[in-house]
Every structure is written in structure tokens, then in C-alpha cells.
Amino acid sequence: MAQQQQPPQPLQGYKYTHFNITSPTPFVAHVEINRPSKLNAFYEAMWLELRRIFQQLSTDPDVRAVVLSGSGERAFTAGLDVQAASAGLLAPGNSDIDGARKATALRRHILEFQECVSSIEKCEKPVICVLHGISLGLAIDLACCADVRICSQDVRLAVKEVDIGLAADIGTLSRLPKVVGNLSWVKDVCFTARDFGAEEARAVGFVSKVYETKQKALEGAMKLAELVAGKSPVAVQSTKELLSHARDNSVADSLKYTAVWNSAALQARDTQEALMSGIKKTKPRFEKL
């Protein structure tokens, strides 16, 4: 008789209103956006929580890889909760306040929103994003911050901001061209706000894998996260840092940065542990970081 799989356990010390955070396997955290009745659409309290979550995960020694997904079958996230935003961020405002003061307040608000979403990218641990169903607007911002993106066959993606009268300002226009390396395609989807699906997303390199269903995509993400979590945390976190630096700097500068970084990282016992386990044909055990 097949052994029943144990349900994921809540991750200790993580209690948030709009996100479920569990530990399906050792050293893996699953962050699930949890507002399915509103298609996981975001309002301010949610992105503020998102920042706190990823800042906490970044330095948690019991976490080595993170999976980000959306609860429910219909949506990863429908993006910004426009109804909530129209009463806040997008509200007409006080006509007695001059343009400079309105602009200052709005700029500060946008920068804080950007910082919250960027917390995914800044997280020291690799983040695997699982997209499914409706994945619009802010979904692209979040996914671009992740290290690995996978999706289910039913995913419906779009850079939706021009349809509500604004340019995407939380990261998509800065990150998406670097993620896919095809500026013509990026301009196509950003100018038109048209939908694109799983196969197109894979063809341009936005996602690395497409699974038949959300459940299979989650299973694939968990297997990948478990594999990553079994590696040296010094090696994995160093690799993420150096790849991020290489993306935004010249080859020469990146090589110099790598030399400085590894002059410290190579002093870890992890290299010796990994080499000896290879010789002995045993599974290496790495200290927490």
C-alpha cells in the first residue's frame, strides 16, 4: 500500500495575512499568494507583506530555496487590485496641492512599491516562480524578479498596464528585456497589452518549462527546489549573486567582482565536503548559512 504523503508544514516564525508559507521539504519554503476570491490581486498591504516575507527568507538559515505560487485554480495573480488602487494610488487627489508636491508623493509611493517587489530579486536564496491561469500585469513584475520561471499550459500572461492608461512602473520595463533578450517581442507585448500563452513564453525564454497542469508545475518546482536545497548554500547563494552582478556589469568588472567574492567564499568547508562525498559516493551534508 502506497504511503500517504504528509501535508506541507507551516514554516515556523512566518505568520502573514495574505500569504501561506510552508516547508514542503527540508530547506525549501513555499510562498503562496493567498487571496483567491480576488484572483490574488494585490493591494498595498500585500506588497508590504511581500517585502517582509522575502527579507525574512533571505537571511533564514533554514531556507535554501523558495517556490512562489498563487492559491486557487484560476490565477497566479490578476495584478493590481484596480478598485483598491483607484481609492489610493490612482485616486484623483486634492486639486489644491501643486504638481510638484503631488509628484513627490507619487514618486515615493512608486519607489516603495518597486522596493517591495524587488525584494524577490534581492533575496539571497534562489526563487522559483510557478505561473498558472490568469497572470497579468504585476504577475510579470513578480516573475521577472524570480530566478527561474515555469508555468502550466493554461497560463494567460500579459503586460497589462497600457490598458489602464499607464506605463508599467514596478520593474517589467527594466527587467523583461534582459530576461528574454528580444526587444522587438518585449515592445510588441508592452505596447499592445495582448495576451500570450505558455508556448510563446517558452519560445522567447520567459519560462524554462511548461507543465500540463498547475499541480504538475508545482511538483516540478518542488523537485527543482529540493535539488537546489541539497547543494552547498555557499555555492548556490554565491552563484546567484555573481549571475545578478554579471547581468548588469561588463565582463571585466564581473570577473574582478567574482575574484573578490570567491576569495572569501572559497574558504568555506563546503568545497572539501562536496569533493570528499564524490570520492566516497555519499550524500554531502552542508552547514547552515
Domain-wise residue ranges, the chain: 9-229, 233-280
Q: What is the pLDDT of residue 11?
A: 87
Question: 233-280: same fold as 9-229?
Answer: no
| Residues sharing a CB contact under 8 Å with residue 33, sequence separation 6 or more, in sequence order | 18, 19, 40, 46, 68, 69, 70, 71, 76, 77
Q: What is the pLDDT of residue 15?
A: 92
pTM above 0.75, yes or no: yes
* Number of other CB atoms surrounding residue 107 within 10 Å: 10
Q: Which of 44, 45, 46 is nearest to 31 (CA)?
A: 46
Fold assignment, 9-229? 2-enoyl-CoA Hydratase; Chain A, domain 1 (3.90.226)
8 A C-beta contact, residue 207 and residue 131: yes
Q: What is the pLDDT of residue 10?
A: 83
Beta bridge partners of 151: 131, 210
Q: What is the pLDDT of residue 81?
A: 92
Q: What is the pLDDT of residue 90?
A: 64
State how beta strands 19-23 and 28-33 pair: antiparallel
To the nearest 10 degrees (0 to 180), the angle between helices 183-192 and 172-180 is 140
Fold assignment, 233-280? Lyase 2-enoyl-coa Hydratase; Chain  A, domain 2 (1.10.12)
8 A C-beta contact, residue 50 and residue 17: no
Q: What is the pLDDT of residue 240?
A: 98
Low-confidence spans in the chain with pLDDT less than 50: 1-3
